[in-house]
């Protein structure tokens, strides 16, 4: 709970962990880092190990043990970084000017809402945290707009919606404010802190269309849309290996883990690494592993830019008027490569493509089955040509038309699950 102790003070001040708490977290981070280092020193590479009298089963078991240890080391390193970052968290709270505070407090009181405290919140540059190894990534960069915190409660039996308060604040303070996704949607009778953020400049409308593989009842493709309190909207599309219920369960598992980590504040590449490690260590008795692809597109709704990440996923496309750009990245699905493999494990997960967005841009994401159905027409080239000729429409209509085009090209055959996602990006300030 964020509150400004000593309401008579008008100066700006910072809120962070106590020195004791920060020291404990950094000590834990060092412990995890050292533990990871000690495990790595003990690791023996058995990937191509062949000893006389050693069965194939034993070699496979040794390789599995090696991969699990690699995954453990990676997870320990990630936990170390998370703790170090948490230790460095700083919020700067700035009281509102007295006139604005009095105006807001009086207006809300007339509606039966008691304001105990009100303040602006921002995250200043961490000039005193240069010793922290984990640096902020692009997803955590600025541009998140104004954030206002209200510590308040309602005095009436009928609760007020948080968006009603946001609308009042917008009028009283001359800013377009909405309720943070981390705040309750209703003002409670017990006191609590509610956050209101500046309305993003860009609005995203999504559309989708799907087709299930012939002779199957369940699609192995799944997708998820996650919105953060810092103005980021992340769209995830996962294609489970194979088809049917088993593939659907695999892709759902990947999305579930990614959702939990992103909502907890993990950066995308860090979440990808942890999910990959979890899949490496979670094979069943038969040796089967979850090896799903993952397509990620994160949009900054304040700055108007997006970041694509792909782990074994099909190409995406960015349509701006009649120009269409293909976005592709090399790589294998999750759950295949362990850290230390010949290919650069961390490099593969950290690959990304960033693009600026303007009003009426469209982002098109799709699973492998869509492009594979265009093999007779030229795969990605055929998709680019179709999108260049397509007039801008509602994203739902675009997704349906695109899927119909693909089905015509494949003569109605659905040899793999198909999923099309269309994100329409619109500038609300125009």
- The per-residue pLDDT for range 142-162, each reduced to its tens digit, is 445 788 999 999 876 667 889
pLDDT band at 132 (very low <50, low <70, confident <90, very high): very low
Instruction: Read off the pLDDT of residues 26-44 as tens digits, 9 standing for 90 and up.
Output: 777 777 777 777 656 655 4
Q: For position 88, what pLDDT does the model report?
A: 73
The mean pLDDT value for 174-188 works out to: 89
Query: What's the chain's length in residues?
Result: 430
pLDDT at 62: 67
Is pLDDT of 67 > 50? yes
Confidence (pLDDT) at 411 = 93
Instruction: Quote the percentage of the chain above a pLDDT of 90.
Output: 48
Residue 408 confidence (pLDDT) above 90: yes
Are 363 and 422 contacting, i.e. CB atoms less than 8 angstroms apart? yes
Q: Give the tens place of pLDDT for each residue, 248-276.
A: 999 999 999 999 888 877 778 878 887 88
Residue 125: the pLDDT is 46
| More confident call, 207 vs 345 | 207
**Structure tokens given for 68:** 């699990």
Percentages of the chain per state (helix, strand, coil), in multiples of 5: 35, 25, 40
CATH architecture, domain 202-427: 4-Layer Sandwich (3.60)
Cα–Cα distance, 18 to 406 (Å, whole number): 58
Please report, for the chain, the start and end positions of each structural domain, with discontinuous segments joined by +.
20-87, 95-198, 202-427
> What pLDDT score was predicted for residue 47?
45
Contact (CB, 8 A) for 129 and 16: no
Q: Which residue has the higher pLDDT, 349 or 272?
A: 272
161-196 burial code (b ≥16 CB/10 A, e <16): ebebbbebbbeebebbbbbbeebeeebeeeeeebbb
Q: Are the C-beta atoms of residues 331 and 351 closer than 8 Å to each other?
A: yes
């Amino acid at each position: 709970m964020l509150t400004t102790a000593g309401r008579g003070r008008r100066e700006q001040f910072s809120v962070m962990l106590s020195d004791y708490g920060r020291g404990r977290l950094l000590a834990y981070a060092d412990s995890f880092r050292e533990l990871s280092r000690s495990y790595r020193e003990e690791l023996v590479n058995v990937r191509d190990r062949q000893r006389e009298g050693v069965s194939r089963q034993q070699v496979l078991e040794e390789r599995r043990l090696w991969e699990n240890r690699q995954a453990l080391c990676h997870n320990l390193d990630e936990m170390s970084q998370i703790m170090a970052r948490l230790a460095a968290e700083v919020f700067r709270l700035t009281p509102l000017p007295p006139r604005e505070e009095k105006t807001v407090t009086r207006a809300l009181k007339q509606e039966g809402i008691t304001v105990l405290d009100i303040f602006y919140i921002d995250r200043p540059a961490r000039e005193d945290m240069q010793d922290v190894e984990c640096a902020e990534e692009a997803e955590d960069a600025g541009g998140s707009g104004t954030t206002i915190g209200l510590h308040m409660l309602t005095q009436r039996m009928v609760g007020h919606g948080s968006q009603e308060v946001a609308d009042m604040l917008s009028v009283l303070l001359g800013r377009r404010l909405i309720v943070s996704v981390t705040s309750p949607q209703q003002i409670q009778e017990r006191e609590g802190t509610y956050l209101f953020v500046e309305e993003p400049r860009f609005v995203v409308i999504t559309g989708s269309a799907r087709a299930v593989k012939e002779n199957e009842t369940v699609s192995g493709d799944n997708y998820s849309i996650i919105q953060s309190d810092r103005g980021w909207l992340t769209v995830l599309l996962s294609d489970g290996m194979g088809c049917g219920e088993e593939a659907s369960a695999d892709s759902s598992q990947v999305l579930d883990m990614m959702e939990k980590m992103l909502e907890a504040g993990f950066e995308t590449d860090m979440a990808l690494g942890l999910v990959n490690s979890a899949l490496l260590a979670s094979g069943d008795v038969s040796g089967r592993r979850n090896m799903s692809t993952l397509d990620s597109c994160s949009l900054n709704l304040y700055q108007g830019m997006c970041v694509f990440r792909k782990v074994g996923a099909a190409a995406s496309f960015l349509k701006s008027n009649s120009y269409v750009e293909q976005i592709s990245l090399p790589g294998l699905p999750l759950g295949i490569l362990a850290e230390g493999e010949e290919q650069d494990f961390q490099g593969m997960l950290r690959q990304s493509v960033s693009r600026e967005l303007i009003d009426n841009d469209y982002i098109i994401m799709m699973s492998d089955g869509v492009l594979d159905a265009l093999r007779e027409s030229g795969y990605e080239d055929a998709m680019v040509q179709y999108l260049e000729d397509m007039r801008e429409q509602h994203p739902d209509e675009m997704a349906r038309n695109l899927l119909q085009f693909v089905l015509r090209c494949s003569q109605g055959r659905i040899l793999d699950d198909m999923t099309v996602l269309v994100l329409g990006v619109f500038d609300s300030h125009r």
